[in-house]
Amino acid sequence: MATLLLEHPVFAEHVVPSGHPERPQRLAAVASRLSAPAFAGLIRERAPRADLAAIEAVHDPAYVAAIQEAVPESGIVMIDSDTALSPKSVEAALHAAGAAIAAVDAVVAGRAANAFCAVRPPGHHAERRTPMGFCLFNSVAVAARHAQAKHGVARVAIVDWDVHHGNGTEDIFREDPSVLYVSTHQRGAYPGTGDASETGAGNIVNVPLPAGTGSEAYRAAFLERVVPAVDAFAPELILISAGFDAHWADPLAALELDEADFAWATNRLREVADRHSAGRIVSVLEGGYDLEGLGASVAAHVAALMA
């Protein structure tokens, strides 16, 4: 079986103000890298649009309605200091969640070995009732609930290696022991959450790292904290909130990883997935704002999924 890649042109139509880091060129950089001959074996599909019911499985229906009502007919409105809405933003967010759902369906059905969703806007900062940090709907959370509701997956592990803590994912699953949330992130970076003392119902594992953390220390923390936690949980499906802003060139944070570290982390999770999940991994793009670093990191990650 091959690796599935989910994309959609609507992601480029989520327009943000000039100079905003979460810009359409991010996915152009990813697409350019994944057009290389080494990626010819990918199964390439368009992301479908998620039903609102799937979104409302993790977000308050009143919140979903409010986001839809806030969409402008033209131009751009800011719903907080970081998060923009333009006419196609909600459509893009629905297709981003739809990509994660379709990836789960394909991987659980055995139609693909694993999957990567090249989507925007990102999702892991979106809480049950609050948009923030460029995020509207939490695609990874939607995918986890879908896996449970449609496929009867009893235990889902979400590993988030974005440099920023996924406060939204933690908010949604904090008291739900059927979902393990493990996050590596820069200590003290936006949004200021993710302390190691935050453990939820025993299903939250935060691994905050000091600014300047490089490959050696990151890999040690991953082996000491992330892999044992996921192994002990024995998930039937692993989801990755795959942000690449821990790359040394990223302008929004100060960890010092490179693309080889993301390939290495992918391989460690593949080993866990082989032990517990029949190899089933679905990865969803989150952050990553240096175009060269993002493209190179995604390419390394997807190559590791394909290997």
Cβ(217)–Cβ(240) below 8 Å: no
Helices (H), 128-283: 139-151, 167-173, 215-221, 227-233, 259-276
- For residue 88, what are its two tokens? 């196609």
Q: How far is CA 283 from CA 30, 41, 140, 161, 197, in A?
A: 14, 17, 8, 11, 26
Catalytically annotated residue among 95, 125, 247, 276: 125
185 counts as catalytic: no
Task: Report the distance separating Cα 24 and Cα 294, nearest Å.
Answer: 13
Task: Report the distance separating Cα 175 and Cα 167, nearest Å.
Answer: 14
Task: Report the distance separating Cα 230 and Cα 276, nearest Å.
Answer: 9
Residues involved in catalysis: 125
